[in-house]
């Protein structure tokens, strides 16, 4: 499993401040407040972009652009949705723009070798190989899903947004999100079971 | 190919999905975002202030250009006196050339200067060039030839500073008187 750097521990005094208060402080020109917003939500924003672009480098670029845009548009944030949802929507829209323009780098297909997990040293080699084979198949089938189902499923799998927030980010109704996730899972399961027989 | 149990399949789907959208950004941080914002930040002057500055400068330039025009009638009158015709214009002489200052594009056609007071342009600066009368036909006969006398030019005695006083005396004695 790839080890990724984690965010440094935050100052407890600012860690307890709500997003709403941070936005107010950032609007008043407090640079540490916006820094805290970045550190608090960069992971969620990155994963939303990753769900759309499926390429880490592109997702990093979009994450950076999202926070720059958020800083400029902070006055337009009305607080009608959560700050994380608002940021994720910016990231999603920017990712969609990038995807439409075709500026993104080569898709990192989910079945690419560098995206696969290596078996742990202590595991049974036969079982590890079998698991890797299953994972490769699952990745391939996710890649073949219709775009709208795959996007919704990956965004939901990131775990940062609830269904209502995903609906807000995608600009669809919450029920649509639920049905898309359900349909995508059912389609995956059926395809993989067919392939296993 | 082996048949996977349903729960194993679901677990495999969950694991793959989780790994596909897992992780944290490596390059993005509060510092990197702040630096990018600072780098892209344009001029710190607000837009309305820059527009106002441009308008003030433009107005000042317009005023500077307008000031000499206001003085134009007096200077033109002076020049009309100096370069005015010495004799009555002949019947073939062309019509007097009249140029008006087209302030703000209002003067579309030449007008009689005498009627300006009746027009709504009263008070606006106006540039009027005096009429130019050309001698007909063009000739240089009016130049009267005369004897040119060049006054006597006296040239001071030449001397070289390096010479001795005696030599200088000798030199001055040798000059024709």
> For residue B39, what is the nearest residue in chain A, using CA coordinates?
A68
Angstrom distance (rounded) from CA A19 to CA A143: 35
Write out the DSSP string of A14-80.
HHTS-HHHHHHHHHTT-HHHHHHHHHHHHHHHHHHHHHHH--HHHHHHHHHHHHHHHHHTGGG--SS
Write out the DSSP string of B144-160.
PP----PPPPP-PPP--
Q: What is the pLDDT of residue B39?
A: 86
Alpha carbon of A141: minimum distance to chain B alpha carbons (Å): 10
Comparing B139 with A108, the larger pLDDT belongs to B139
> For residue A35, what is the nearest residue in chain B, using CA coordinates?
B30
pTM of the model: 0.57
What is the value of ipTM here, to two decimals? 0.76
Q: What is the mean pLDDT of residues A128-157?
A: 90
Q: What is the pLDDT of residue B68?
A: 56
Among B13, B22, B30, beta carbon nearest to A39: B30
Comparing A128 with A33, the larger pLDDT belongs to A33
Residue A109's pLDDT band (boundaries 50, 70, 90)?
very low
State whether residue B44 sits within 8 Å of chain A by CB.
no
Residue A105's pLDDT band (boundaries 50, 70, 90)?
low
Is B12 in contact with A138 (Cβ distance < 8 A)? yes
Q: Which tokens go with A110?
A: 């989910």
Q: How many CB atoms are located within 10 Å of the residue A92 CB?
A: 24
Is A197 in contact with B37 (Cβ distance < 8 A)? no
Q: What is the mean pLDDT of residues A153-182?
A: 95
Q: How many CB atoms are located within 10 Å of the residue B30 CB?
A: 20
pLDDT in tens, A170-182: 999 999 999 999 9
pLDDT in tens, A22-79: 999 999 988 899 999 999 999 999 999 999 999 999 999 999 999 999 999 999 998 8
Q: What is the pLDDT of residue A115?
A: 44
Q: What percent of chain B has pLDDT over 90?
A: 16
Does A127 score more than 90 pLDDT? no
Q: Which of residues 81-110 of A touch B (CB under 8 A)?
A: 110
Q: What is the mean pLDDT of residues B139-155?
A: 68
Comparing A86 with B78, the larger pLDDT belongs to A86
Residue A122's pLDDT band (boundaries 50, 70, 90)?
low
Q: Which of residues 39-68 of A touch B (CB under 8 A)?
A: 39, 42-43, 46-47, 50-51, 54, 56, 59-60, 63-64, 67-68
* φ/ψ of residue A144, rounded to 5: -90, -5
- For the ranges A52-56, A57-61, B29-33, B40-44, the lowest mean pLDDT is seen at B40-44
Q: Which of A63, A39, A41 shows the shortest CA–CA distance to A50?
A: A63
Q: What is the mean pLDDT of residues A181-195?
A: 90
- Most A CBs within 10 A among B5, B21, B36, hence the mutation to make, goes to B21
Angstrom distance (rounded) from CA A96 to CA A46: 14
Residue whose pair of structure tokens reads 């009249």 in the numeric block: B98
pLDDT in tens, B53-82: 999 999 999 988 876 554 544 444 444 444
* Residues 6+ away with beta carbon under 8 Å from A52: A59, A62, A91, A92, A95, A96, A99, A151, A154, A155
Q: What is the pLDDT of residue A86?
A: 95
Among A42, A154, A196, beta carbon nearest to B20: A154
> For residue A37, what is the nearest residue in chain B, using CA coordinates?
B30
Alpha carbon of A148: minimum distance to chain B alpha carbons (Å): 15
Does B96 score more than 60 pLDDT? no
Angle in degrees, 0-180, between the axes of helices A56-72 and B30-40, rounded to the nearest 10: 60
Q: What is the mean pLDDT of chain B?
A: 67
Q: What is the mean pLDDT of chain A?
A: 84
Q: What is the pLDDT of residue A135?
A: 87
State whether residue A18 sits within 8 Å of chain B by CB.
no
pLDDT in tens, B105-121: 444 444 454 454 556 66
Is B21 in contact with A110 (Cβ distance < 8 A)? no
Does B83 score more than 50 pLDDT? no
Q: What percent of chain B has pLDDT over 70?
A: 41
What residues in A contact B23, CB-CB < 8 Å? 2, 4, 46-47, 50, 56
Q: Which of A102, A96, A111, A86 shows the shortest CA–CA distance to A52?
A: A96
């Amino acid at each position: 499993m790839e080890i990724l750097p984690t965010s440094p521990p935050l100052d407890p005094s600012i860690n307890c401040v709500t997003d709403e208060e941070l936005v107010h402080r950032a609007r008043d020109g407090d640079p540490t407040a916006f820094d805290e917003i970045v550190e608090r939500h960069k992971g969620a924003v990155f994963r939303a972009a990753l769900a759309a672009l499926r390429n880490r480098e592109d997702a990093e670029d979009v994450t950076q652009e999202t926070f720059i845009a958020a800083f400029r548009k902070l006055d337009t944030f009305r607080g009608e949705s959560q700050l994380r949802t608002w940021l994720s929507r910016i990231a999603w829209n920017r990712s969609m723009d990038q995807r439409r323009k075709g500026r993104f780098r080569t898709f990192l297909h989910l079945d690419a070798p560098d995206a696969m997990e290596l078996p742990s040293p202590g595991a049974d080699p036969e079982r590890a190989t079998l698991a890797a084979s299953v994972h490769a198949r699952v990745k391939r089938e996710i890649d073949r899903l219709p775009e709208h189902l795959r996007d919704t499923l990956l965004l939901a799998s990131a775990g940062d947004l609830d269904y209502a927030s995903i609906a807000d980010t995608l600009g669809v109704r919450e029920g649509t999100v639920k049905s898309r996730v359900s349909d995508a899972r059912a389609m995956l399961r059926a395809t993989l079971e067919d392939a296993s027989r | 190919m082996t048949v996977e149990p349903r729960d194993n399949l679901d677990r495999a789907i969950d694991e793959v999905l989780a790994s596909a959208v897992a992780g944290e950004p490596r390059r993005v941080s509060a510092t990197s975002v702040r630096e990018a914002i600072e780098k892209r930040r344009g001029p710190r002057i607000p837009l309305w202030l820059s527009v106002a500055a441009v308008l003030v400068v433009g107005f000042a330039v317009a005023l500077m250009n307008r000031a000499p025009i206001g003085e134009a009638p007096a200077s033109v009158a002076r020049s009309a006196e100096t370069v005015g015709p010495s004799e009555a214009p002949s019947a073939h002489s062309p019509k007097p050339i009249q140029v008006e200052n087209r302030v703000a594009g209002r003067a579309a056609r030449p007008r009689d200067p005498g009627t300006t007071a009746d027009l709504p342009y009263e008070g606006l600066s106006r540039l009027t060039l005096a009429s130019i009368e050309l001698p007909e036909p063009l000739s240089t006969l009016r130049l009267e030839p005369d004897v040119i006398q060049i006054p006597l030019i006296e040239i001071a005695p030449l001397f070289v500073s390096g010479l001795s006083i005696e030599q200088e005396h000798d030199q001055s004695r040798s000059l024709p008187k």
